[in-house]
Amino acid sequence: MEYTYELIPSNLIGRYADLALKEQLQRAKFRNVSSVAAFDTSSEHKRALGLIQYAQKNDGLELLWVYVSDDHRRQGIGRGLIKYLLDTAKGNHSQKVYARIPEDLDIDLGAEEMSEFLLNNGFKNKEVVPGQWSVTGKDVFLENFKLGKKQLDELFRNIVPFEKCTSAVVSGCARAMKLRDPDDVLHAEKSLSFICESGGSYKGMIWTNKYGDALYPEGLVFLDENVRDRLIAAFLVSYSRNIRYADRVIVRESEISGKWMRKFFPETSTNKTILLTT
């Protein structure tokens, strides 16, 4: 059986709902995200049998999703999709490719099975790293309900909502923060993204995207800790204004995020993530 691998335009991704979760379908609208489907060319009717999705990040290509339909597994389709991704990275000046797999992954394959599959198909390094925080919309709302007007006024001093900034301003801030490509910032969920400007110069920026019922801070850059903490707090306060109790805020664990998540939500802990790189 022969397969072809084709990039899927973001406006057509809805046709492949049987190969991806709602979260992946929503990610496809961002310009730094690419979706590629594997098609069976031997049948009369062209049919998609698998899908891979990856994002162009400042530090390389991140594998977001790979899936093959149940009745076409173990036929080399998943291997071909991973090869497409790795070949793309080679064509982009040998960029690093990496994947983050939650230890509690429960979609068809478990975390160890998925890790083994990737390690057998071009990934070389594996390590267990801190995973992600997950807090509910209710938690965020109740925490921010404690803030008074004076605290809010101070918090939002010199913080500019994303939707009030032109693309030139966003690009300028991205360059000041030494981001290689501002595209993922420019296509963030605008009403939930912030830029911090102080004294005529850019000091920091946070940008987020929402997939399904979960909000993910995609990036955070800053010049000092005070700016960092204000951006994070402003993000949480802003989110609480348009909140549903059932929503979640998903934050990837790091030394930076851990410090302020423990400050805001001391009773919340993280899971672990398996990090694979090429």
pLDDT of residue 99: 92
pLDDT at 117 over 70: yes
Alpha carbon 232 to chain centroid distance?
17
What are the structure tokens assigned to 163, written together? 């939707």
Residue 145 has pLDDT above 70, yes or no: no
Just give the CATH number of 133-252: 3.40.630.30
Q: What is the number of alpha carbons within 13 Å of residue 34 lying toward its C-beta?
A: 16
Q: What is the 3-state secondary structure (H, E, C) of 23-86?
A: HHHHHCCCCCEEEEEEEECCCCCCEEEEEEEEEEECCEEEEEEEEECHHHCCCCHHHHHHHHHH
Residues of the chain with CATH 3.40.630.30: 3-95, 133-252
Domain 3-95: give its CATH superfamily.
Gcn5-related N-acetyltransferase (GNAT) (3.40.630.30)
CB neighbours (10 Å) of residue 183? 15
Could you tell me what percent of the chain has a pLDDT over 90? 19
In degrees to the nearest 10, what's the CA dihedral of 40, 41, 44, 49?
A: 10
Report pLDDT digits (tens) over 237-273.
776 666 677 777 777 666 556 666 776 676 666 778 8
| Angle separating helix axes 225-240 and 255-264, nearest 10 degrees | 50
Structure tokens at 13: 């991704």
Query: Three-state SS for 275?
Result: strand
pLDDT at 98: 93
**What is the average pLDDT across 219-233?**
77
Query: What b/e readout covers 94-108, taking b as 16+ CB neighbours within 10 angstroms?
Result: ebebbbebeeebeee
Instruction: Return the pLDDT at 196.
Output: 73
Give me 138's structure tokens.
Answer: 């209710």
Q: For the beta carbon of residue 43, count every other beta carbon within 10 angstroms.
A: 10
Report the alpha-carbon distance of residue 268 to residue 52 in Å, rounded.
32
